[in-house]
Structure 1
Amino acid sequence: MLYVLVGILALAAGVALGFFIARKYMMDYLKKNPPINEQMLRMMMMQMGQKPSQKKINQMMSQMNKQFDKK
């Protein structure tokens, strides 16, 4: 009975620890390698028929960074 309880507690602790380590790793990875960069944003705007100015791209990137930092 005691071995089963210890096993269940160890499994729960391992799952929780693994989740938090994986979450921290992914947050650091996304901060270093953002999913959308300026070049991608420029290409998306051109495909939508807009002529992207550097000011507009900078505004959109700063908004995206603020949104990412909130999470």
Structure 2
Amino acid sequence: MTWAWILGIVVALIAGVAIGFYAARQYMFKYLKENPPINEQMIRVMMAQMGRKPSEKQVRQMMSQMNKFQDK
């Protein structure tokens, strides 16, 4: 009887950790997809700080590269 309780607690603990990890992982993926860490404005500011005036084409190219890298 005591072993059954201990086994149940251990199984519940392992299941809780696994489900919590999976839920947190899914939440972070969703959050990063909706709120990417770098946007076009940040790229423009970064290039301006380097002394360059980026064209719209350059900004779009950098964004596509970032998105391609993020999808991998």
Provide TM-score, normalisation by structure 2. 0.90
The corresponding residue for 1:28 is 30
Q: Aligned residue for 1:48? A: 50
Q: Which has the larger radius of gyration?
A: 2
1:26 maps to amino acid: M
Structure 2 unmatched runs, 5+: none
Q: Distance in 2 between matches of 1:21 and 1:43?
A: 35
Percent identical: 63
Give the unaligned 5+ runs of structure 1: none
**RMSD in angstroms over aligned alpha carbons?**
0.8
How many corresponding residue pairs?
70
TM-score (norm 1): 0.91
